[in-house]
């Protein structure tokens, strides 16, 4: 006989209440009742009835717990700004060197900060002013798209790094507060700079550009001053955004075409090359090996301002340069300086020049190529960081600005040890960047153990020393279409070598090496041949 199963009706209770009903002891001790959170009756989660506890730390636990610093450290800290003032040859070389060889060797301690490289300059483009003496002669000899190279595009290979390029001009550098004040050139620069400010001072990224101030202040952990020098005319150096120099070149091309007389002042390489290029391309209509003067040549006069041309070069080289210029028909005046100029002296638009020998000269076009001035106005005279000529006082051995404080450096034409020679820049860059790396590593080690403990590691970090090349040893000055004068490592250069090394295309094939790699435009090896 089969047995029928008996079904016992169950009361509709929750699984949780049935579990508690089986235990004669309360699931929660009355000792914990004061700390148990009250259940939320409106919650639909079945686990909301479980007991929860509030965390309570007594005074002993608080006293022995590690203290959290008020300022974040390590990856949570604000990146330390490594700022390069100047975005010409020296600044670009330092930037690429830092991103290629320095930044990956930093952060050697657990609490080391991250680093951010910031380049600040007045233009978005590098002016290839090596070619300026030929670029001023006539349109087409040097195209604008060849002479002005976009800087930011040259850093595409560093897209993974903390790197920013800002178009602006430094108004003030405070070595005590370790800040710089920047006059930003446009809305894009204002937006970029605002994103670099400390979080407590920064702007919301959604803030309209016109609400962001034009003048902003950035702190720096280390700074390299590579702002260079400027010539009286923006034909040979940038005085601001690159389009201003393009406008000046376009204007002078029209003036040269209509001028019958041209006066150039200066006895250095720029003046000599400019006079030679003007005489070659304006007054001669034939090609190598024959040369024929045109019927109505322009009168070209060079006022050297001294006893000889190219005073930093050997006497034989200076004599040869003068001989080449006279052969091209250039009139040269020595021991005379231009004291004063008066534009639009008459209704023809001529310029009157007052000379130091108490005579005057009237010319259709005047091109000044003398009187370099350092771009160092952002350092107030009260800091006593500049010499009488305005150059920044720099240790000629390690390239530090010792009087300005720690991790402040100067390089290139703005430094007091300059010879105004591009070759010196590329000799000095590896030394400066090595010493910067040493200073950053020492800072990290000392910050990691303020009471000592890294002395042995610090002792192993050694500076490098900069050995400057004697003046005039590496100078090339193309004068005619097929030659010029020059010295290289103490050797006198044949005319054909001056043409091949510089005069042929003024090293325009090396623009990529400078902007993309930060390399020397006169280097003979590399993919930019």
pLDDT digits (tens, 9 = 90+) for 79-120: 999 999 999 999 999 999 999 999 999 999 998 999 999 999
Backbone angles phi, psi at 146, to 5 degrees: -85, -35
Architecture in CATH for domain 242-370? 3-Layer(bba) Sandwich (3.50)
Nearest Cα to 482, choosing from 316, 267, 277?
Answer: 277
Please, which pLDDT band fits residue 35 given cuts at 50, 70 and 90? very low
Calculate the CA 48 to chain-centre distance: 61
Task: Please give the sequence-ordered ranges of beta strands (E in DSSP) within 4-93, or none if there are none.
Answer: 80-85
CB 290 within 8 A of CB 252: no
Residue 9's pLDDT is 52
**Cβ neighbours of residue 330 closer than 8 Å, sequence gap 6 or more:** 275, 276, 279, 300, 301, 302
DSSP 160: T
Query: pTM for this one?
Result: 0.84
Residue 36's pLDDT is 44
DSSP assignment string, 254-309: HHHHH-SEEEEE--SHHHHHHHHHHHHHHHB---TT---B-SSPPEEEEE-SSSSS
Residue 211's pLDDT is 80
| Superfamily (CATH) of domain 74-231+374-460 | FAD/NAD(P)-binding domain (3.50.50.60)
pLDDT at residue 274 tops 80: yes
Q: Taking residues 117-129, what's their average pLDDT?
A: 98
pLDDT above 70 covers what percent of the chain?
A: 82
List the structure tokens of 376.
């160092």
Count the neighbouring beta carbons within 10 Å of the beta carbon of residue 486: 28
Domain with CATH 3.50.50.60 in the chain: 74-231+374-460, 242-370
Exposure string (b/e) for 133-165, b if CB count within 10 Å is 16 or more?
A: bbbbbbeeebeeeebbbebeebbeebeebbbbb
Residue 63's pLDDT is 63
Return mean pLDDT, the chain.
Answer: 87
Residue 488's pLDDT is 82
Calculate the CA 52 to chain-centre distance: 59
Per-residue pLDDT tens digits for 323-365? 999 999 999 999 999 999 998 877 788 999 999 999 999 999 9
289-290-296 Cα angle (round to 5): 145
pLDDT at residue 269 tops 50: yes
Task: Tell me the three state secondary structure of residue 247.
Answer: helix
pLDDT at residue 47 tops 60: no
Residue 77's pLDDT is 73
Per-residue pLDDT tens digits for 236-264? 999 999 999 999 999 999 999 999 999 99
Please, which pLDDT band fits residue 222 given cuts at 50, 70 and 90? very high
Q: Taking residues 495-508, what's their average pLDDT?
A: 93
Beta-bridged to residue 120, according to DSSP, are: 85, 166
CA distance 118 to 194: 13
**Between these two residues, 477 and 49, which has the higher pLDDT value?**
477
Please, which pLDDT band fits residue 278 given cuts at 50, 70 and 90? very high
Per-residue pLDDT tens digits for 135-185? 999 999 999 999 999 999 999 999 888 999 999 999 999 999 999 999 999
CA distance 354 to 298: 21
CA distance 300 to 278: 8
**Between these two residues, 418 and 17, which has the higher pLDDT value?**
418
pLDDT above 90 covers what percent of the chain?
A: 70
pLDDT at residue 527 tops 80: no
List the structure tokens of 54.
């509030």
DSSP 201: T
Per-residue pLDDT tens digits for 462-473? 999 999 988 767
Nearest Cα to 230, choosing from 425, 386, 414, 374?
Answer: 374
CA distance 129 to 137: 13
Residue 382's pLDDT is 94
List the structure tokens of 107.
């952060």
Residue 198's pLDDT is 81
């Amino acid at each position: 006989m089969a047995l029928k199963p008996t079904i016992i009706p169950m009361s509709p209770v929750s699984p949780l209440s049935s579990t508690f009903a089986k235990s004669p002891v309360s699931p929660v001790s009355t000792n914990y009742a004061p700390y148990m959170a009250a259940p939320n009756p409106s919650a639909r989660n079945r686990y909301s009835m479980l007991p929860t506890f509030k965390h309570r730390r007594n005074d002993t636990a608080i006293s022995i717990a590690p203290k959290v610093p008020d300022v974040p450290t390590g990856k949570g800290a604000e990146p330390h700004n490594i700022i390069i003032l100047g975005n010409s040859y020296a600044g670009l070389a330092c930037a690429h060197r830092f991103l290629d060889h320095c930044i990956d060797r930093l952060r050697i301690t657990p609490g080391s900060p991250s680093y951010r490289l910031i380049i600040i300059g007045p233009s978005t483009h590098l002016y290839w002013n090596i070619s300026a003496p030929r670029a001023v002669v006539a349109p087409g000899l040097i195209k604008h798209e060849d002479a002005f190279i976009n800087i930011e595009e040259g850093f595409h290979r560093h897209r993974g790094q903390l790197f920013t390029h800002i178009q602006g001009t430094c108004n003030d550098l405070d070595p005590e507060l370790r800040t710089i004040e920047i006059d930003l050139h446009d809305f894009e620069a204002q937006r970029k700079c605002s994103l670099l400010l400390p979080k407590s001072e920064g702007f919301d990224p959604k803030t309209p550009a016109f609400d962001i101030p034009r003048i902003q202040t950035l702190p720096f952990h280390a700074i390299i001053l590579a702002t260079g020098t400027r010539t009286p005319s923006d034909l040979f150096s940038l005085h601001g955004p690159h389009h201003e120099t393009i406008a000046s070149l376009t204007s002078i091309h029209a003036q040269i075409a209509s001028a019958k007389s041209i006066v150039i002042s200066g006895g250095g390489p720029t003046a000599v090359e400019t006079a030679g290029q003007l005489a070659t391309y304006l007054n001669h209509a034939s090609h190598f090996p024959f040369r024929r003067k045109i019927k109505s040549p322009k009168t070209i006069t060079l006022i050297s301002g001294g006893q000889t041309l190219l005073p930093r070069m050997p006497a034989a080289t200076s004599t040869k340069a003068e001989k080449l210029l006279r052969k091209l028909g250039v009139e040269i005046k020595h021991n005379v300086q231009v004291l004063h100029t008066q534009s639009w002296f008459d209704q023809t638009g001529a310029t009157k020049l007052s000379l130091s020998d108490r005579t005057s000269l009237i010319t259709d076009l005047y091109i000044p190529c003398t009187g370099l001035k350092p771009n160092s106005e952002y350092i107030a005279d009260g800091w006593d960081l500049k010499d009488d000529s305005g150059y920044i006082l720099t240790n000629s051995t390690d390239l530090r600005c010792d009087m300005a404080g720690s991790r402040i450096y100067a390089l290139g034409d703005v430094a007091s040890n300059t010879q105004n020679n591009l070759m010196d820049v590329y000799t000095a860059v590896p030394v400066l960047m090595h010493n910067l790396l040493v200073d950053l590593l020492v800072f990290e080690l000392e910050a990691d153990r303020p009471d000592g403990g890294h002395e042995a590691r610090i002792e192993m970090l050694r500076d490098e020393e900069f050995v400057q090349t004697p003046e005039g040893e590496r100078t090339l000055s193309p004068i005619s279409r097929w030659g010029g004068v020059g010295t290289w490592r103490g050797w006198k250069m044949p005319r054909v070598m001056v043409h091949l090394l510089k005069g042929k295309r003024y090293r325009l094939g090396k623009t990529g090496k400078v902007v993309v790699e930060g390399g020397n435009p006169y280097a003979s090896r590399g993919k930019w041949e």
